[in-house]
Structure 1
Amino acid sequence: MTSARPPRRGGNSEGRPPRRRRSQPGLVAVLIVAVVAVSVPAVWFITRDGVTVEQAAAAQPAPAAAPQEPKETSFWSTSTKVKATPRADRAPVELGMRFTAARSGWVAGVRFYKAPGDRGKHTGSLWSAGGKRLARVTFAGESASGWQEARFASPVQLKAKQLYTVSYHSAAGNYVGSKGFDSARSGPLATTSRNAGVFGYGRSTFPDRWNPKGYNYWVDVIFRWRDRSPAPAPTRSPQPSQPPQVPGETPVPSLTPSTDATPGTSPNPSETGASPDPSPSRTGTGPSPSQTTGTGPSPSQTGASPSSSSSQTAGPGPGTSASPSATTTGTPRPTPTSRPTLTPRPTPTVRPTPPPQPTPTSRPTLTPKPTLSPRPTLTPIPDDGGSSCAGHPTPACTGVPAGTRLSRSTLNEDGAAYRVTKSGAVLDGVHIPGDLLIHADGVTVRNSQIDGSVINADGPRTYRFTITDSTVGPAQGCKTLPGIGQDKYTALRVHVRNHGDGFRASGDDVVIRDSYANLCSNPGDHSDGIQTYNTGRGLTFDHNTIDQRHAKDVTAPIFLVDKQIVDAVVTDNLVMGGTYSIQLKNARGKLVVRDNMLVDDSWIYGPVEADCKAIDWAGNSLVKIDQNYRITSVVGPLECDG
């Protein structure tokens, strides 16, 4: 009987060539999967109609985020035209701008707008909130006027949301200023919303004064930062339930994300934090740079920045490539009568939304008042006519005598200070609602209240004066700068309040006696009761009370460490607080420390740090006191072992 099965080899029984047997779907699937698996990671699907192989995008390694180039910005560009009235004051002046950065970064340098005809020397500085100079640079190769720029030797790192001041010093007292400034923003940079423009007369020191009219002194900062780069999200893998595409049918929705979802690209500049263009968008209600402001203020006025706008976005980030797919099908078969209904999978979101850039809505606190422990409630001490205090000085026997009627003086130095220029002038029973500038010799101040500082420096020159029975300092807040300075002055029965430093000795012939200072501090301060700075000969600090217990950022009630000190007498004082409470080092000549009293255990590290062998040290004691500064007990001798 003839077999119905075709022979394995050769022709059939009729002599015709053998027909090739149809390949089985299972074998095709195995071969295809094996080939594809060698080349790329894949997922595969088998159906009755064939085999579909697609590249598994989820198995691809995520591309590494490219390092971000640093961006750089300033409040104004070097092409900004400033039409403000040039000013020429009679003294050197430091002019600055207060600002914060929403992101940490670096300050590379300083810019300022130079007034026409200014031929003086200029230096630029960066300061912490407490007045510490972080960097300094001298301007070189200046043009006759317009924007000048100088870069620090090394960029200075800044912390996000901290207050800083950028400034320049004009040795000749020339500058430009525009009043009516509100605020300015540029990328992560923002000026303070009030009192952004600041100044200070004399040698280059921290500028912390401002004019109530709100001035911009056109000093700018060069700031760099890097944007945060979000890691690209991996492509989601397809689901194994996806049936193959059959010719003639509607294609299955793509598994790969749309290429318009680009990681790292934000359509809103506020999301990236800043733009590399030096003239970014700003806010504020001040005059534009082209606005003529009329008569500009003297440096004692606060700066103002104009409002102009220009916006930009950060450059696009690396694009996201669509995942390629490869499809292999078996021999076409008739269209199936029914297919399962597919549930479309949502296109995955590749670009994560970067956190929005915080926009300052209120000015940072410029001089935050520290949280203090309760101050002692003082029992009034009988008034002895202002000649002396019973025991050590207290608020009850220093400052403006009780019952004194004060006459308010009008500030004559650009609305921020009262300036005395007449030799031998006497200020008696006056209230000065700002700083007192003594720019004449032989001035006497008595029975008066000064809400700011008393300063006798006019550039490099200082003037001799005497202040007695007066109160120095604001009723509230905390001023970092000293209450009284610089040299050639005598202070008797003075009450210094709400200052970081009580007294500054920066030259010869400083006498401070029968006075009281209760100190405060701002973050970053180095509070001192008396501090020497480039001092000289003849310092006398006798029978004073210095209370530093309520200040947090401190150095010492008595801080005398200059190498320029020659002859210093420190006697009969009551002091408390500080890191090391009494510090006397590096000095020469006759050095006397006698009969002082230090409140026991009021220091942070120790009672004394001093060059003991060079000092006449005797009769000093550790004591305990009551709330009225009266000695309740003597703990023991205060030895000099520093």
Structure 2
Amino acid sequence: MPVRAPRPRTGTAAPPSAAARPSPRPGTLRRAVAFLAAASAVVAGMTGLVGGLTSQAATTTTTMWSSTTVPKVPADADRSSVEIGTVFSTSTAGSVTALRFYGTSANVGPHVGTLWDAQGRALATATFATTTSSGWRQAALSKPVNLVVGQGYTVSYRAPQGRYAGDHGVFSSGRTVRNGSLTASAGVYTYGSGRPTQTYQGSAYYVDVAFSTGTPVAARPTTAAPTATPKPTTAPTTPTPTTAPAMTGWPTAANTGVPTGTTLSPYTGPCTITAAGTVIDAKTISCSLDIRASGVKITRSLINGTVGTGENTTGYSFSISDSEVRIGAREGTGVGAVNFTATRVHVNGGNRSMHCYRDCVIQDSYVHGQYRDDTGRMHESGIRMGSGATIRHNSITCDAPDVPPDAGCSAGLTGYGDFAPVRNNVVEKNLFKATTGGFCAYGGSSQGKPYSSQTSGIVFRDNVFERGPSGRCGFYGPITSFDTRLSGNIWSGNVWSDGGTVAASN
């Protein structure tokens, strides 16, 4: 009889059984701003001296965690074979020379580490020496791997018998681990093969790299030798691009949010925006923005709060791009609810990341990290759709823990027929990451709901559903309450992350 593999967790509590789990409740490449900053060798030729003196930039090796770091939980109770790792990026050009992780005698090998790029391609592997001692273990790469500034990478290793190190909350609410030029943004895992991408309660699994900033970095290839360029008589200006390059790979914390290299200054304007056409760029905003004007534009900013228009407002609109919204460990919706466009936005915290009540576009964004509701009452989700939503090429999950009697995730994407009709929505080319909820998506036609019979024009097309520990994305399945018999509802080209076809659930 198959046994449901547990997800990585800390502590010794066993995962809930299917019988004990609550029934489903009704109801994160960064646009690379990559300026390479490698130190050049300085050659000093001195006339009259025997020979020449050459000085080279000193090699500096950095890790995300120091060798004195000891996890609070050095050996989790999980005994399943699992690939666990860390998502990270660098702000300085350099090379990974070795892989490392924290282990104890309980974490039995053999252990093979892998360095992955943002597209899930293995860049290098290394085999760790067998040891029974506790502490940081390191394996050198046969050849250093050059990294690109601002691009997301994952370093991982296979723990064939579990018992890995792991602590909850290290990456919760958008927190990161930074040391020198390295920034770790998420702990990830997979019980399958390939690059790990799933997260759980902001956990860190203490997988690391040795990163050298003194190793020469290969130059970009050129098609022809450059010709001499006349010295300009006036200083050149760099035009600001009107559109960002197309995103490569799934949205993650590494390729959404504030671009690397952006300098933020405190926002001193009003929290209630009433001036049409207001532009907010490169700011740290320490309040929730209430949009009561049209054409408001928010770019390259960190919002410690929420931003939105009310559900029943008219005449107000805004766009938000290349920004991070940190709702915090509290009730709240990060971005909503009518007449808005969100592009390359990273949202974490709150009980709902985004809400498109009416007429919005959500694209190339990453939503996750909803908070633990200790009141036991919040039905949480990544994105909630109402009417007129285009939800395209996002990474969507809800990963909040269940709290009795009724708190936790309904689904990554919810369409509730309780409050208004769910209709005319296009949901395409998204990655539905495994959720702690019953399903990864609700289609909006739950039987018995006041408006479920009015559901129409819902298109689920070319989405990818990630298998969770249950093997079904959500605890019970990928999608529920989606009826292809209703007018205009279309289910087409939706697949599992391992390539299998996903069937719609009526």
**TM-score (norm. length: structure 1):** 0.37
Q: Which has the higher contact order (CA 8 A, sep 6+)?
A: 2
Q: Which structure has the bigger radius of gyration?
A: 1
TM-score, normalization by structure 2:
0.46
